[in-house]
Structure 1
Amino acid sequence: MKRNDENHRPKMSSSVNLRTIYAFAREMYPKRVTTNIQYGTAGFRTRADKLEYVMYRMGLLATLRSRLKNGQTIGVMITASHNPEPDNGVKLVDPKGEMLERSWEQLATDLANVSDMDLQGEVEKIIQTHNIDMGSASSVFVGMDNRYHSPGLLKAVSDGVVALKGNVKSFGIVTTPMLHYMVVCANTNGDYGTPTEEGYYQKLITAFRALRGSNVERGSYKNKLLFDGSNGVGARKMIQFLKRMNGELNVDVYNQGEGKINENCGADYVKINQTVPIGTPATEPYTRCCSIDGDADRIVYFFTDENNQFYLLDGDRIATLYAGYLMDLVTKCGIDLKLGIVQTAYANGGSTDYIEKELKVPVACVPTGVKHLHHKALEYDIGVYFEANGHGTIVFSDNAKQSIRAVADNSELNEEQVEAAKKLLSTIEVVNETVGDAISDMFLVEIILQSNGWNVKEWYKTYVDLPNVQKKINVTDRNVITTTDAERKVVTPEQLQDGIDELVAKYPRGRSFVRPSGTEDIVRVYAEAASKEDVDHLAGEVSQLVYRLAGGIGPEPQLVNNTANGLAN
């Protein structure tokens, strides 16, 4: 490969022979797939039998990334999250627990798509462009979900690391948030916590106990929760938590792994289908239930009433619950901190109205994808971000942490101020700031509901959701749809946005937007309106419009009618 001059030649170690990359790839992980794959908001995700070569190459990339970052630990998580069991995927975790830097997403895409013959040259190009010292230290943490094909894919990642003489540590079966936690712990020399599974359990349990106290039931709050584990790794880890908690949280875990991951269960299923997951035990009306996804980074709550009517408490509800709790504690502390909530276009209009008019908290809207929400949340002292699908968390600035700690340590302040500050410090500990964490989020929901003395009915009645519908339209090429304004407006095809605007204008409180999937050739349609009948008509009409203007395939969507749904006030 051509070099500009000797000064720009990458520093190579004699122990790293790049020729072995091609030889190993050809023999063990050949690229037999002819179609390209793209690193999207959730990394690479497709059928598991098409991923071995990608995993090997991501082991290479993670090692290069670690060396570029002066030996800091990079994470590699093998999971397909809420996708069906035959799928799998991989995403890289940067040193602070954040998603992979955007410029390196393109490097990942390029590296995954080159031929075996060109693989060595592509690696050399990355080394040269970034002047990576191949003799320096590296550290890669690898974790996987509990899909049956994950162990083979984990080995492929590890082999990629070893091919570049990197250091790899496998954590085996862990949730995605656990791997993010491990990475941050390693890169903060333990300041964030101990980088072990037991360290993760103890950090969250200790903070939970500090906030809940010994009085587990209060007001209308009852210590009983049904937990749908989606047949994923989160069910296993929840059981491990419960073994360490001595009944402090009474949780009935179901869908522990007896069925297929995410099949008729899990947060995505509950959110989209607006129904209870398969296997939900018979229980009393208004029993608190929650559902996580396959890798435990999403959570939604739900319940049924005496008529077996279903009610959803999604990411919007969790975000507003968090914001009200945090505002109360910050006010009691007497600290001037900037608090904000970050949503996507999928956030229900009812939640946005409640946040702005009742809580009086600033709301920002960003494109779909946790990396967009996380980045925006960092602009606040306390940033709460959630997608409606239940993926979210809270981030606290250094200024917020220092200000809160100063109040907690100030013996001259009144008892209410100090106590509020101590609660905030424990809240910071129970929150997984690195990424959405279903179990961490669940702990905080339970803490707040117990503190407020609320049952699910009281939580649900804080505001009224606008009826909403989500649909998927299969298309020949999702890239014909482009958007702007945080994905709320269509740019192409040109006639599509005008058509949506005309349809929306027909319905009271109507709103609709469409966006291409980041991983497959489908277009997602979201609609909301003042009544269930209206929103079903609106969603159907927009779906038909997308089908006709964006190259829909298969049967054309049909208009449907549903009965109204709503909890009486």
Structure 2
Amino acid sequence: MHLESVLRSSARHAKPAGLTLQYGTAGFRTKAEHLDHVMHRMGLLAVLRSKKTKFIIGVMVTASHNPEEDNGVKLVDPMGEMLVQEWEIYATNLANAEEHELQTVLTNIIKQEAINMQDESSVAIGRDTRPSSESLSLAVIDGVTALESKYQDYGLVTTPQLHYIVCCRNTDGRYGEPSVEGYYQKLSKAFNDLVKQSPECQAEKECLSIDGANGIGSLKIKEMERYLQPRLSLQLFNDGSNGRLNYMCGADYVKVQQKPPEGIDMKPNERCCSFDGDADRIVYYYKDSGDGFHLLDGDKIATLISTFIKELLVKVGLELNMAVVQTAYANGSSTRYLEEVMKVPVYCAKTGVKHLHHKAQEFDIGVYFEANGHGTVLFSKTAEEQIRQLTKTGASEESRKAAQMLENVINLINQTVGDAISDMLVIEAILSLKGLTIQKWNEIYTDLPNRQLKVTVADRKVIDTTDAERRTVKPPGLQEKIDDLVKKYNMSRAFVRPSGTEDVVRVYAEADTQENADALAHEVCLAVYHLAGGVGDQPKPLR
């Protein structure tokens, strides 16, 4: 290790005294002014990870749906997946090391992982549109070059595009051409080929309105639009030309507030969707003729996609092991519809995309979405090979056509990570092929009314959960209290879980009416407040 070079470089990116950060599912996230040293050190860690795996590692500078003044960083593993959990502790230790401890922490990682520092390494770097992202990505590059590693700076890209590029480069282009242009070409070809198979395919399509959250997704959908015409007509709002990133717009705002973003012109019954700040989440919505707002979130998206794939599998005669993976936040109606009507197995994983991704990998076809709109579909190599074989050897013309549709779906989906642009194109293709309006899609099942709240506590660690975070084991008596409260309401359930980043406990409740869901959520908040050390005023009933 070129220690003198590393220490000189680190001195230019000094760590603020007393600052402690944790690498979680979303990497590091905090105010941008606190992240210069973290970025430099993640450049160092990416080089070590590259030497260890002997593959290219990605570093994405973004804070996703967080406010514009925040920023963050995520490391991308060789196949485009998130950094393995075992290395998250290295990231945390490295970010929190004082300057005089840096040499020891780096040496320990090298020793524990038996890294040969003579091995080659390469890092792929991308960033979002935040004002702080360019300077922070330069800090990453400083860390990479301090260890004399190769790197390529891809500049402004969506998070899913960097994941895609890393996977392409590490598979020698088998997954696709490793560039943003290659991404556009692969997805648009699959989309156009898929929609072309619709018997009702027309030269002009009705318009889709997109809220770009004033982020990187706005730039990239503008670049891609020419590849999609005339199959898809797009109207872009919150494109970054004047509004602030994620401010009163974007997928997270729409999901949490249950209302349209600012800055979008919604016509009755017109399809609209919102990306988040780094374009890895998407939600759909519309207003009916009575001005009522209807949200189609990750649960609705998972149901639409898995139903479509299941129908095609039946047509081609393949009995592949398919499942949908949800979190505890998934609406109970979606779970019942999938299990009872579509006969698709549903599994629950802990909150956090990495947990859903790992569970989905256990199946030939694993569909996973968080309710917030982050998700994708994973196809095993076996499934891909069998589907591609049937495009040539299907028993009938219908079977071969269905297999071709499935092959196009495989090519259209970004299997490395949730991808708002890819997911949008999959949804638009399915709606076209099935002749569905957004209203008809929404009517597939009716969401149970629900409410999400939070309770501030002195220490979130007093809450411990099991069963994919659906039941508490600590503090004593809390789960029993929740069970008693749930019994009071029809078609109800509730759970609580500690936040991963702050001393709050998140509360979720659903029931047969909104009034009952609100009442149950409030009563569960009171139980948490009294049994888990609530701070401040006692939670008040919702009005």
- TM class, shorter-length: over 0.9
The answer to whether the 8 Å contact 1:47/1:88 transfers is yes
Question: How does 1:2-401 map onto structure 2 within 5 Å?
Answer: 16-26=1-11, 28-70=12-54, 72-213=55-196, 223-257=206-240, 258-283=242-267, 285-401=268-384
1:458 is paired with a residue whose SS is helix
- Cα distance in structure 1, aligned partners of 2:198 and 2:386: 29
Q: Post-superposition shift, 1:216? A: 9.6
1:451 maps to a residue whose letter is L
- Cα distance in structure 1, aligned partners of 2:269 and 2:205: 11
1:191 is paired with a residue whose SS is coil
The answer to whether the 8 Å contact 2:365/2:380 transfers is yes
2:114 is paired with a residue whose SS is coil
Matching of residue 515 in structure 1 with residue 500 in structure 2:
no
The answer to whether the 8 Å contact 2:458/2:535 transfers is yes
- Cα distance in structure 1, aligned partners of 2:116 and 2:3: 13
- Cα distance in structure 2, aligned partners of 1:39 and 1:271: 25
1:169 maps to a residue whose letter is Q
The answer to whether the 8 Å contact 1:142/1:172 transfers is yes
The answer to whether the 8 Å contact 1:216/1:223 transfers is no
- Cα distance in structure 1, aligned partners of 2:478 and 2:5: 51
The answer to whether the 8 Å contact 2:431/2:437 transfers is yes
1:194 maps to a residue whose letter is E
Match of 1:533 among 504, 515, 537: 515
Please say which of residues 518-527 and 483-492 is displaced more in the overlay: 518-527
Matching of residue 433 in structure 1 with residue 412 in structure 2:
no
Matching of residue 405 in structure 1 with residue 405 in structure 2:
no
- Cα distance in structure 2, aligned partners of 1:297 and 1:494: 38
State the Cα deviation string for residues 443-469 of structure 1 (Å, max 9, x = none): 000000111101111101111110011
Question: How does 1:439-454 map onto structure 2 within 5 Å?
Answer: 439-454=421-436
- Cα distance in structure 2, aligned partners of 1:117 and 1:187: 35
The answer to whether the 8 Å contact 2:77/2:84 transfers is yes
The answer to whether the 8 Å contact 1:218/1:453 transfers is no
State the Cα deviation string for residues 73-112 of structure 1 (Å, max 9, x = none): 1011111111111111111111011111111011111111
1:280 maps to a residue whose letter is I
1:35 maps to a residue whose letter is L
- Cα distance in structure 2, aligned partners of 1:235 and 1:403: 37
Taking a change above 3 Å as real, the CA distance of residues 222 and 555 of structure 1, as seen in their structure-2 partners, is farther
- Cα distance in structure 1, aligned partners of 2:497 and 2:473: 10
1:171 maps to a residue whose letter is Y
1:41 maps to a residue whose letter is T
The answer to whether the 8 Å contact 1:99/1:371 transfers is yes
- Cα distance in structure 1, aligned partners of 2:121 and 2:193: 37
State the Cα deviation string for residues 469-527 of structure 1 (Å, max 9, x = none): 11233333322222111001112222322222222111111111111222233221111
- Cα distance in structure 1, aligned partners of 2:475 and 2:63: 30
Unmatched 5+ residue regions in structure 2?
Answer: none
- Cα distance in structure 2, aligned partners of 1:235 and 1:415: 40
Taking a change above 3 Å as real, the CA distance of residues 216 and 134 of structure 1, as seen in their structure-2 partners, is farther
Taking a change above 3 Å as real, the CA distance of residues 117 and 216 of structure 1, as seen in their structure-2 partners, is farther
- Cα distance in structure 2, aligned partners of 1:85 and 1:428: 34
- Cα distance in structure 1, aligned partners of 2:537 and 2:7: 45
Unmatched 5+ residue regions in structure 1?
Answer: 1-15, 562-569
Taking a change above 3 Å as real, the CA distance of residues 246 and 191 of structure 1, as seen in their structure-2 partners, is same
1:467 maps to a residue whose letter is P
Q: RMSD across aligned C-alpha pairs, in angstroms?
A: 1.6
The answer to whether the 8 Å contact 1:467/1:530 transfers is yes
1:494 is paired with a residue whose SS is coil
1:182 maps to a residue whose letter is I
2:9 maps to a residue whose letter is F
2:506 maps to a residue whose letter is R
The answer to whether the 8 Å contact 2:251/2:275 transfers is yes
The equivalent residue for 1:4 is none
State the Cα deviation string for residues 312-349 of structure 1 (Å, max 9, x = none): 10000000101111011111111121111000000000
1:383 is paired with a residue whose SS is strand
- Identity across matched positions, percent: 52
1:312 is paired with a residue whose SS is strand
- Cα distance in structure 1, aligned partners of 2:230 and 2:205: 13
2:513 maps to a residue whose letter is S
The answer to whether the 8 Å contact 1:216/1:248 transfers is no
| TM-score of the pair, normalised by structure 2 | 0.97
- Cα distance in structure 1, aligned partners of 2:199 and 2:354: 35
- Cα distance in structure 1, aligned partners of 2:459 and 2:25: 18
State the Cα deviation string for residues 217-272 of structure 1 (Å, max 9, x = none): 669x9622110111111111111111333332111110111211111111111111
Q: Post-superposition shift, 1:551? A: 3.3
Q: Post-superposition shift, 1:552? A: 3.1
Taking a change above 3 Å as real, the CA distance of residues 491 and 35 of structure 1, as seen in their structure-2 partners, is farther
1:301 is paired with a residue whose SS is strand
- Cα distance in structure 2, aligned partners of 1:218 and 1:196: 30
The answer to whether the 8 Å contact 2:198/2:433 transfers is no
2:438 maps to a residue whose letter is V
- Cα distance in structure 2, aligned partners of 1:477 and 1:19: 41
- Cα distance in structure 2, aligned partners of 1:145 and 1:121: 32
Please say which of residues 520-529 and 371-380 is displaced more in the overlay: 520-529
The answer to whether the 8 Å contact 2:65/2:276 transfers is yes
- Cα distance in structure 2, aligned partners of 1:323 and 1:282: 28
Please say which of residues 172-181 and 259-268 is displaced more in the overlay: 259-268
- Cα distance in structure 2, aligned partners of 1:539 and 1:232: 33
Please say which of residues 551-560 and 286-295 is displaced more in the overlay: 551-560
Q: Post-superposition shift, 1:554? A: 4.1
State the Cα deviation string for residues 527-548 of structure 1 (Å, max 9, x = none): 1001010001111222232233
